[in-house]
Amino acid sequence: MTNFQKRIITSIIILPLSIFFIVKGGYLLTLFLIFVLFAGIHELYSVFKRKKSIIFLSLILILSLLSIYYLKENSWYFLYLALVVSISSDVGGYIFGKVFKWKKLTKISPKKTFSGVFGSYFLSILGVLIYREIYLQNYLSLDVAINFRILFLTIIFSTTAQIGDLIISYFKRLEKIKDTGKILPGHGGIFDRIDGLMFVSILAAILKLTNF
What is the structure's pLDDT at 77? 83
Query: CB–CB of 112/181 below 8 Å?
Result: no
- Residue 139's SS3 state is coil
At residue 139 the predicted structure's pLDDT band, cuts being 50, 70 and 90, is: low
**H-type helices in 50-177, by residue range?**
51-74, 76-100, 114-134, 144-175
- Which is higher by pLDDT, 136 or 212? 212
What is the structure's pLDDT at 109? 73
The model's pTM: 0.89
Phi, psi of 188, deg, nearest 5: 105, -130
- Residue 184's SS3 state is strand
What is the structure's pLDDT at 189? 78
